Amino acid sequence: MSQPHDAVEVITAKRDGHQLSDSQIDWVIDAYTRGDVAHEQMSALAMAILLNGMDRREIARWTAAMIASGERMDFSTLSRPTADKHSTGGVGDKITLPLAPLVAACGVAVPQLSGRGLGHTGGTLDKLESIPGWRATLSNREILDQLEELGAVICAAGDGLAPADKKLYALRDVTGTVEAIPLIASSIMSKKIAEGTGALVLDVKVGTGAFMKDLDRARELATTMVELGKDAGVRTVALLTDMSTPLGLTAGNAIEVAESVDVLAGGGPADVVELTLALAREMLAGAGVTDVDPADKLADGSAMDVWRRMVRAQDGDPDAPLPVAKESHVVTAPTSGTLTRLDAMAVGMAAWRLGAGRAKQGEAVQAGAGVVWHARPGDEVTAGQPLFTLLTDTPERFDRALASLEGGWEIGAAADFVATPLVHDRIS
């Protein structure tokens, strides 16, 4: 039987600025997943999409074809509504850890299928794997049972969800096409729609430490993803949140878990608490639950109860001591004044170089490695006080981490500090 299309025809159509037909999109995604379209051909098509874009119909069809390449999860049997959150990635972004049990404590099930870190942005699974015994891999049956019993699960996405995306994601990473908004949006949304959640809140990071440095580009990405969710029948809203300054006071794995537990205990850094509550309220609204204030569930300990049960359900020990790095190095303030700037990318690169992240897929990470900062922008500091503590098991990493931090922070006059809002915009 002759094929309805061929790869060169699809590539040249997009190269010349034409819209791809539904049939062309369905065919090329299916053929690439099966191995009938070569990597170099899909690379050429990805570059053509980067340069010439896609309209809303094309992106929606591309996303649907990626979903159709694998299985879809179904949470319709659960006794409570579902809502999920996706962050585009940042530095110190441990929000998923307190957020999932908090929303579950409010009566909404959270199927949080998460990933690992790459480069300067941390991965939720890497953080949780610093808890002794905790396992990331669950069967679909285990996911459903845990959602019904506890209301929250954070685990690795199975290979069956959008396998086309897995192939294409790896290809984009090595062909300079990561930045294509149609491909970013369809990558994120194909997995989230296939996951079967009823409501979705997108945390689109913008700033120096984010994938999107520019507010207009971040808004375009957020709008595209919200439209894809709407087209697929998933109630979707996006918050554009700041990532010029890292979140909280830690970037790493075990140290971010400890900070998340502080939040669940009713403490923690103000910005982490603020963003956790903002996203929780959006998730609850999307799921139709409007009579519960998540702040109450942080205060009364019920979110912490869900966290402890969730960790135990995945064979982790919530009472076990977290790993501690073997070596530390303290950076002190050279002068007194106000910390006017702390650059998220500088902190993220330092944490990565200390061993908290990986340079390529499959590399091991150090559970105890990372950066703790002892002041946030706007805080007064005095000469000689600790500004940063660098943590690693391999002290030869300190020099490169210190080089990453160089120029990434400033101490000046209080009048020089300009506060940035944590949430820039809301798109629904």
- The single residue of 61, 85, 86, 205 carrying the catalytic annotation is 86
Q: Where in the chain is the domain with CATH 3.90.1170.30?
A: 327-416
C-alpha separations of 339 from 379, 386, 391, 413 in Å? 6, 12, 22, 8
* Rg, Å, the chain Cα set: 22
Residue 217: enclosing H or E segment and its boundaries? helix 215-231
pLDDT at 1 over 60: no
Give the confidence band of 121 by pLDDT, cuts at 50, 70, 90. Answer: confident
Which pLDDT value is given to residue 354?
Answer: 97
> 129, 257 in Cβ contact below 8 A?
no
Residue type, 45: L
Q: How far apart are CA 233 and CA 52, in angstroms?
A: 28
Token pair in block for residue 324: 């501690």
Segment 321-350 shows an average pLDDT of: 97
- The single residue of 87, 114, 130, 187 carrying the catalytic annotation is 187
Which pLDDT value is given to residue 179?
Answer: 85
> 311, 134 in Cβ contact below 8 A?
yes
pLDDT at 404 over 60: yes
CATH of 327-416, one of 3.30.110.40, 3.90.1170.30, 3.30.10.20, 3.40.50.920: 3.90.1170.30
Q: Which fold has domain 83-157+191-313?
A: Pyrimidine Nucleoside Phosphorylase; Chain A, domain 2 (3.40.1030)
Task: Name the residue with higher pLDDT: 285 or 170.
Answer: 285
- Using left for φ > 0, alpha for ψ between -120 and 50, and beta otherwise, residue 403 falls in alpha
| b/e sequence 78-91, b meaning 16+ C-beta within 10 Å | bebbbbbbbbbbbb
Which pLDDT value is given to residue 119?
Answer: 66
DSSP of 353-417: IIIIS-SSTT----SS-EEEES--TT-EE-TTSEEEEEEES-GGGHHHHHHHHTTSEEEE-GGG-
Segment 305-317 shows an average pLDDT of: 98
Which pLDDT value is given to residue 4?
Answer: 87
What would the pLDDT profile of 193-250 be if each residue is shown by its tens digit?
999 999 999 999 999 999 899 999 999 999 999 999 999 999 999 999 999 999 999 9
Which pLDDT value is given to residue 250?
Answer: 98
Segment 3-31 shows an average pLDDT of: 96
Which pLDDT value is given to residue 2?
Answer: 58
Catalytic, 86? Answer yes
Q: What percent of the chain has pLDDT over 70?
A: 98
> 100, 264 in Cβ contact below 8 A?
no
Token pair in block for residue 33: 């997943």
Catalytic, 329? Answer no
Q: How far apart are CA 90 and CA 242, in angstroms?
A: 9
Segment 336-342 shows an average pLDDT of: 98
Q: Where in the chain is the domain with CATH 3.40.1030.10?
A: 83-157+191-313
Q: What percent of the chain has pLDDT over 90?
A: 89
Give just the sign of the alpha carbon dihedral 138, 141, 142, 147.
positive
Which pLDDT value is given to residue 236?
Answer: 98
Segment 374-402 shows an average pLDDT of: 98
- Under DSSP, is residue 297 helix (H, G, I), strand (E, B) or coil? helix
CA triple 116-95-279, angle to 5 deg: 125
Contacts of 64 (CB under 8 A, 6+ apart): 232
What would the pLDDT profile of 253-287 be if each residue is shown by its tens digit?
999 999 999 999 999 999 999 999 999 999 999 99
Angle between helix axes 96-105 and 302-313 (nearest 10 degrees) is 110
Q: What DSSP state is assigned to residue 109?
A: B
Segment 179-193 shows an average pLDDT of: 93
Catalytic, 374? Answer no
- The single residue of 127, 191, 192, 205 carrying the catalytic annotation is 191
Q: How far apart are CA 1 and CA 115, in angstroms?
A: 40
Catalytic, 127? Answer no
What are the phi and psi torsion angles at 50 (to 5°)?
-55, -45
Segment 147-169 shows an average pLDDT of: 91
- Name the residue with tokens 């944490």: 351
Catalytic, 165? Answer yes
pLDDT at 251 over 90: yes
Beta strands in 207-316 (DSSP E): 235-242, 250-252
Give the confidence band of 118 by pLDDT, cuts at 50, 70, 90. Answer: low
> 126, 365 in Cβ contact below 8 A?
yes
| Number of CB atoms found within 10 A of residue 411's CB | 19
Residue 206: enclosing H or E segment and its boundaries? strand 199-206
pLDDT at 26 over 80: yes
- Which of 84-98, 171-185, 381-395 shows the lowest mean pLDDT across its residues? 171-185
- The single residue of 165, 203, 262, 343 carrying the catalytic annotation is 165
Q: Report the mean per-residue pLDDT for the chain.
A: 94
